[in-house]
Structure 1
Amino acid sequence: MYRLVVLAAAVALATAEVILTLHDCGSHDSIINSVRVEQCDSEPCIVHKGQDYTVHVNFTATRTVQEAHNVLHGGLGFISAPFPLQPENACQGSVTCPIVAGQTYEYVQTMTCPTFAPSITVTAKWEVKDENKQDIFCFNTRLQIKS
């Protein structure tokens, strides 16, 4: 019995993820219901250079949009640097366009922490923009980048 409890605890820790505290930074075309990162078990999320991280955003569209584009920036004070996301076109990922008002979606995006990133704590600004460059959704979260 003891071994079963230890095994269950180990599996729970290995699959741990945290629902991030939401800091909406100007969602225009939706309401964010939740944000979680699979490989994150506390805030700020600790991300290691060269490793993949998967973000899930559950959102409800408030306006129908035809296009969706991924944008991610890492910021430290007034300095902000882009982090490329592939594909740039979010409609080629987990969300099918058009995004229809009133429907709820599960946006899933995997990113690789760049190996060139400095080992610091940054504020990540994650946006998905519509065809008019307005935020379908936008949120900020803190990331601690490590080697």
Structure 2
Amino acid sequence: MIKIITLLVVYLVSSTVAVQLKYISCGSTATVHSIALEPCASEPCAMNIGQNYTVWVNFTAKVNHDRAYHVWGGDVTGFGDVIMLNINPNDACIQSVKCPIQAGLQQTYKATVTIPYINPKRMALTWEVKSTNDPAARPIICFVFPVTILVN
């Protein structure tokens, strides 16, 4: 029964408007198997201000981590003018991953964000999951992907 439910969930996720992202790794300490973003029909993803977007990252940690925190931001200009965006709650263990994260255990990280007001433009979004709130900490998961921000 559990296998049927799992297959149904996978079918529902894959049958909605979700794209398997082509991304650039930016130093993940985990092995990232796949990343999907919804709703997103093509790349670069056209993201509307005020709309919710959900990311799923299937990964296997290489080392144990007690905690996990969301961090995401964007390089707005393409020249390093980075803005940081908030995900609430910041603690990824609350609704996303099972903590402590165990090395060798495959899991799916999930987070939903609302696109804040950003001047409409193309940008590179960086998404990280870290084991601490320290911005200098090496990320468990880190990836960059292109988006276009649109006004509804």
Structure 2-normalised TM-score?
Answer: 0.83
Structure exhibiting the larger radius of gyration computed from Cα positions: 1
* Percent pairwise identity: 36
CA contact (8 A) 1:22 1:34 kept: no
Aligned-residue Cα RMSD (Å) equals: 1.3
Q: How many residues align?
A: 132
What one-letter code is carried by the residue in structure 1 that aligns with 2:42?
Answer: S
Structure 2 regions of 5+ residues with no counterpart? 1-14
After TM superposition, give the deviation of residue 118 of structure 1 in Å. 0.8
- Residue correspondence of structure 1 range 54-133 to structure 2 within 5 A: 54-75=54-75, 76=77, 77-114=79-116, 116-131=117-132, 133=137
Q: Which has the higher strand share?
A: 1
Following TM superposition, the consecutive aligned residue runs of length 4 or more in structure 1 with deviations greater than 4 angstroms are none
Q: Deviations over 1:94-134 (max 9, x none)?
A: 202100000011111000000x2110011000000113722
CA distance in 2 between counterparts of 1:37 and 1:109 reads: 10
CA distance in 1 between counterparts of 2:96 and 2:35 reads: 15
Q: Equivalent of 2:144, from 137, 140, 144? A: 140
CA distance in 1 between counterparts of 2:54 and 2:36 reads: 8
